[in-house]
Structure 1
Amino acid sequence: MTQIITAFSEVSAQYDAAFVDLWGCMHNGVHALPDAVAAMQKYRAAGGIVVLVTNSPRPWDSVARQISGFGVPNDAWDAIATSGDSARAAMFRGIVGQKIWFMGESPRDDDFFKPLQIIENPVDIQKVPLDQAEGIVCCGPFDPLADPAVNRPEFLYAKQKGLKLLCANPDIIVDRGDVREWCAGALAALYTEMGGESLYFGKPHPPIYDLARRRLAALTNAPSDPRIIAIGDGIGTDILGAMQEDIDALFISGGLAATETDTIQQPDPQALADYLQAQQTDATYTIGHLR
């Protein structure tokens, strides 16, 4: 059963590094969450390492610029691992072919196609119309407010052609301020439901954790066998992924599950227990908001 805590500092000394989600934990899609920033600054000052692990489809340097604009300072983190970087590596290795139909928002998602120097002999990716495509790359919906079902006609055609869909962001929804938006994960789930094949590289799937561990190991102050805790508000991404990776998790109940857990400052214990049981998932610790 999860332990409800009031501050990360109550348990942080047990861990050398934290894999911290961004959206819903460090910012709300509009601005930084000051208490969360302060908590990570305090953790780092005590010797902890913060790796931001995000399902953003963007390259890590693009995410760094974005969160700086939100007000998340550089001294609140050490490294960034993104679903986008994991997915880009697979794309440039040709996992869905050379000619791809791209789903996303331009110019916001254009950085996904930036050259990736770590790949030898990368595939020359070409964006083409659906009827010419060998595969699909999905960074998100064309309209994040539209029901994913609007894509059924295109997905039916793609499934009949046997196209694979590379999902650059497994998140289903995010809250941008007070507005709930659909993410690429919702489209990939629909495509799978329709009989298509979707490929995932972000949380809760292994590739992003491998990338996060490599980003952690590359830091000069990283221990050889670090004790890691994952922090996030996504029960089916952050917390499930931590469980599958056999690492402890701190669930932020005041994010995506605020209503279900009756979280204002802290979750209602019974509502939290009912929610976790319904999700068939558990977290080592829970807190209303990261602080």
Structure 2
Amino acid sequence: MPESVPKMLEHGLISQIKVAMAAHVKGPHVQANAISALAKIGIGLPESVSEMVERGLISQIKVAMAAHVDSAYVQNNACTALHSIANAMPESVSQMVEHGLISQIKVAMAAHLENVRVQTDAAVCLARIAHAMPESVSEMMEHGLISQIKVAMAAHVDNELAQANACWALGRMAAGMPESVSNMLEHGLISQIKVAMAAHVENEHVQAHACSVLDSIADAMPESVPKMLEHGLISQIKVAMAAHVKGPHVQANAISALAKIGIGLPESVSEMVERGLIFQIKELM
């Protein structure tokens, strides 16, 4: 009942949740449930997030994550809450970075590799942080998060949300810090993105975010284009476009990626022509 949230705020429940978390740091159920409540409040009433930030709840969530690394429930709820906070108040991201949340998210991902919810929500957090604060991407690289995202993608190939969110995070990283692209190539992300696209052709979010990453990679590092061709990504982009004719984000990102591929390796255009991509693009106009 999201409409109940203003009443919670009237009664000072954000402050009370902070008190409960501080008093029961060693209680995983208290922490997990309190953080879950914060996430729901933030989603139900985005303007409540400013009070959470003022009351130091970003720091308190970090404390909970550090105290309960072994609890997937705490880690998942923490990532969900951080995502809702960053979504409602992008300027709060600088505080997350100051409190070491990038490092803590890496710890959560490494500790709960098999838990798909932790992986998907952690990836969303990273996407939000990288989008709101592009300079944070260098810290993500220092903590090995590109490698960690690759590991998550490989571990959850069958999960479309894990693949979509991972591609989203990678896309924001590549856009925020083009130098990160070489790191992506070193870790075999071009191959992994192809796997995601082939496994989830019908999922619009996977295809749109995957095309966005390829666009950023080809733009930042034209010499990566031959690797894309080796992995059949021109053909895969064609498949995505055909499967999502009415998906504007897929079409826009796919066309932009093809343009960057063509600029990066002009001889790739002949393959685009052979595969009917010129005709396919014309049909959209």
How high is the TM-score relative to the length of structure 1? 0.29
Q: Name the one with the larger helix percent.
A: 2
- Report the structure number with the largest CA radius of gyration: 2
How high is the TM-score relative to the length of structure 2? 0.29
Higher normalized contact order (CA 8 Å, seq sep 6+, divided by chain length)? 1
Q: Name the one with the larger strand percent.
A: 1
